[in-house]
């Protein structure tokens, strides 16, 4: 696997080595050993999958301490624009984001460490999205910031008129009205 660094330290794009022949393709979607060597040690404990249609926007979600989560995400059918927003107080990249298109054709994965809000928008007719988490889901620790916050400067590539959001996601605060539970730890 190739690890591509982004503009925000710790947030990386992962491209697998793809082996193609007349039968189709094969790739190793996850190797704990290689992940530890190239990204860092993270023990994933839960895998999730969602299916959504064009225009669905999910996020920007996170889990509050002590139930914080790092995520390794990928799109196995269709295409999504996936986004991580730095919400660590004191971070030099606070409020900044990284966006990457994940598709069934590019097989890319996106690693989002703790201290980031995460969301995605479905760009294809439908999309099947999978993600690994390093902590179990705790509904009482749910948190979020508004996916439609213009101050974040995210081009979701979906006209707002076509955006489909859950009721919960329409109630998240804007970044300026948000008190982050995360602290930036300078390495």
The catalytic residues are 61, 131
Other CB atoms within 10 Å distance of the CB of residue 182: 21
HEC profile for 66-113?
Answer: CCCCCEEEEEEECEEEEEEEECEECCCCCCCEEEEEEECCCCCEEEEC
In the structure encoding, which two tokens stand for residue 94, read together? 């606070």
Distance CA 31, CA 37 (A): 10
Sign for the pseudo-dihedral over CA of 117, 151, 185, 37: positive
Distance CA 141, CA 145 (A): 14
């Amino acid at each position: 696997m190739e690890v591509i660094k982004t503009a925000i330290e710790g947030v990386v794009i992962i491209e697998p080595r793809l082996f193609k022949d007349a039968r189709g393709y094969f790739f190793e979607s996850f190797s704990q050993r290689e992940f530890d060597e190239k990204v860092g040690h993270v023990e994933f404990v839960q895998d999730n999958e969602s299916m959504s249609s064009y225009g669905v926007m999910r996020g920007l979600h996170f889990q509050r301490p002590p139930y914080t989560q790092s995520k390794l995400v990928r799109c196995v059918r269709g295409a999504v624009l996936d986004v991580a927003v730095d919400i660590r107080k004191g971070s030099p990249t606070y409020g900044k984001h990284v966006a990457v298109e994940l598709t069934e054709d590019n097989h890319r994965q996106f690693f989002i460490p703790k201290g980031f809000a995460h969301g995605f928008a479905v760009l294809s007719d439908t999309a099947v999205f999978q993600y690994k988490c390093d902590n179990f889901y705790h509904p009482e620790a749910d948190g979020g910031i508004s996916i439609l916050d213009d101050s974040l400067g995210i081009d979701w590539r979906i006209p707002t008129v076509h955006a489909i959001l859950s009721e919960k996601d329409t109630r998240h605060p804007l970044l300026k009205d948000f008190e982050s539970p995360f602290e930036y730890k300078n390495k």
